[in-house]
Amino acid sequence: MLVKLQTMSAVYLHIPFCVKRCDYCDFITYAGQGEFLDEYHQALIKEIQFYGGKSSRANSIYFGGGTPSLLSPGQVDALLRAIDHSIGIEAKAEITLEANPGTVDYQELKAFKRSGINRLSLGVQSFIDRDLRSLGRIHNTDQAISAIIQSRDAGFDNLSLDLIFGLANQSLADWESNLEGAAEMGVEHLSLYSLIVEPGTPLAKRVENGEVVLPDDDLAADMYELTMDKLPQLGLFQYEISSWAKSEALESRHNKVYWKNQDYIGIGAGAHGKYGDRRVRNVSTIPAYIKLSRSQASQEEGLSWAVEEVLPISEKEAMQETMMLGLRMTREGVSAAEFLQTYGQAMESVFDQEITKLIKLGLVEWIGTGLSRRLILTRRGIMLGNLVFQEFV
């Protein structure tokens, strides 16, 4: 029996279609499978219907990928109607669509806005053509700028950009100009990632054979430090290791569900979900997902027909995850009161040794007093986040 998912108010939809695989990408996404898009869309609607009556109304909805902007506005509209009908959508829900600057135009953006999308996340990655070519992106700088301008014209007042640092031949000055460019465009939110060379990707091969030389760790760390210093001067404030927003109200509501280790529904091929004491993962391939949607075979414990893997989470693991994910939120950190309320035990007694050690190393600190206390990363802790997180594994 599936327990009613009372706390779930976030819905993630995975759209694993791309025009072309970028050279660094290891996400679950496929190029050249556009012929399945309509059937996949129908399958998504069926999975949304499965969750009818099993969750509270959605407060955030996130179309991620892949390239969700390959869906037509009509398809997005139909998905949102299905969610509203089956699960319900709160009046002021945050509804985000990830868009590739190489796949959108003004008319389409306007239609996405009309369908209910109120936040766009544009995968700009860089405002320098050389960087975009080296990443194997399908768009160029002019298209990125035009997508931002057209999004504004289409009425989007909540724009987030993804940018990547630590690229081949990228200087500190190049990175600074990207940050300034984003701020000049007046965007409300930035997600900034360091380039990770994932094994098996075309980028990994080019790095292995010496064709591509990436900046050393010191330069990448300098870029990150520059970001922390520069963006507040430009009116964007860090609230998570990789995230900056113009104000608290413009922080990503959806991502905060993950960082607060709360429950969420994952819909689509390769999507993950979290329901109380278990995490689930759907089948990864598009054909397998479509095939399962046709039979909609019932699963043990009332899981969606698309679920391939169920991972139970012990209480100890849940507490560890709460620390690792929560500490990512550089402004809020982990609340002592919320930890106590969730687990019936005080954070400082469960993780006494770890917290004491990290405080001594100057990596975390307490802010506030009594039950309003929160454990947050220090600036040094933000720079050395992995050292902190591994204490809670």
Contact between 238 and ligand SF4 per CB under 6 A: no
Contact between 293 and ligand SF4 per CB under 6 A: no
Contact between 66 and ligand SF4 per CB under 6 A: yes
Task: For tokens 């949304």, name the residue.
Answer: 48
Of the candidate spans 17-25, 46-54, 298-306, 320-328, the one that interacts with ligand SF4 by CB under 6 A turns out to be 17-25
- By residue count, the chain amounts to 393
CB of 67 to ligand SF4, least distance (A): 5
Kindly state the greatest CA–CA separation across the chain. 58
CB distance 111 to 156 below 8 Å: no
CB of 138 to ligand SF4, least distance (A): 7
Task: Rank residues 74 and 193 by Cβ distance to ligand SF4 and give the closer one.
Answer: 193
Of the candidate spans 18-26, 41-49, 187-195, 268-276, the one that interacts with ligand SF4 by CB under 6 A turns out to be 18-26
Among 2, 21, 168, 204, indicate the residue that binds ligand SF4 (CB under 6 A).
21
Q: Helices (DSSP H) in the chain: which residue ranges?
A: 37-50, 73-86, 106-115, 129-135, 141-153, 172-184, 202-208, 217-233, 253-259, 286-295, 315-326, 336-343, 347-350, 352-360, 379-383, 385-389
Distance CA 304, CA 295 (A): 12
Which two structure tokens, joined as six digits, stand for 280? 């689930």
Q: Helices (DSSP H) in 246-295: which residue ranges?
A: 253-259, 286-295
Among 5, 14, 44, 65, indicate the residue that binds ligand SF4 (CB under 6 A).
65
CB of 179 to ligand SF4, least distance (A): 20
Nearest to 383 by CA among 187, 209, 228, 203: 228
Task: Rank residues 66 and 215 by Cβ distance to ligand SF4 and give the closer one.
Answer: 66
Q: 369: exposed, middle or buried (C-beta count within 10 Å: 0-12, 13-18, 19+)?
A: exposed
Q: How is residue 216 annotated by DSSP? A: P
CB of 100 to ligand SF4, least distance (A): 5
Distance CA 259, CA 60 (A): 14
- x/- mask, ligand SF4, residues 111-150, rule CB under 6 A, reads ------------x---------------------------
278-282, long-range: CB within 8 Å, 24+ apart, which pairs?
Answer: 278/310, 278/311, 278/312, 278/313, 279/310, 279/311, 279/313, 280/304, 280/307, 280/309, 280/310, 280/311, 281/307, 281/308, 281/309, 281/311, 282/14, 282/306, 282/307, 282/308
Of the candidate spans 22-30, 271-279, 324-332, 365-373, the one that interacts with ligand SF4 by CB under 6 A turns out to be 22-30
Task: Rank residues 29 and 335 by Cβ distance to ligand SF4 and give the closer one.
Answer: 29
CB of 69 to ligand SF4, least distance (A): 10
CB of 22 to ligand SF4, least distance (A): 3
Q: Is the dihedral of CA 300, 304, 308, 311 positive or negative?
A: negative
Of the candidate spans 65-73, 228-236, 338-346, 353-361, the one that interacts with ligand SF4 by CB under 6 A turns out to be 65-73
Q: Is the dihedral of CA 101, 256, 381, 368 positive or negative?
A: positive
Of the candidate spans 23-31, 216-224, 328-336, 382-390, the one that interacts with ligand SF4 by CB under 6 A turns out to be 23-31
Of the candidate spans 44-52, 64-72, 266-274, 377-385, the one that interacts with ligand SF4 by CB under 6 A turns out to be 64-72
Of the candidate spans 14-22, 70-78, 177-185, 272-280, the one that interacts with ligand SF4 by CB under 6 A turns out to be 14-22
Q: How many residues bind ligand SF4 (CB under 6 A)?
A: 11
Which two structure tokens, joined as six digits, stand for 244? 């900056």
CB distance 120 to 96 below 8 Å: yes
Contact between 67 and ligand SF4 per CB under 6 A: yes
CB of 66 to ligand SF4, least distance (A): 5
Task: Rank residues 25 and 58 by Cβ distance to ligand SF4 and give the closer one.
Answer: 25
Rounded (10°) angle between helices 106-115 and 141-153: 40
Among 8, 10, 11, 25, indicate the residue that binds ligand SF4 (CB under 6 A).
25
Contact between 22 and ligand SF4 per CB under 6 A: yes
Tell me which residues touch ligand SF4 (CB under 6 A).
18, 21-22, 25, 27, 29, 65-67, 100, 123
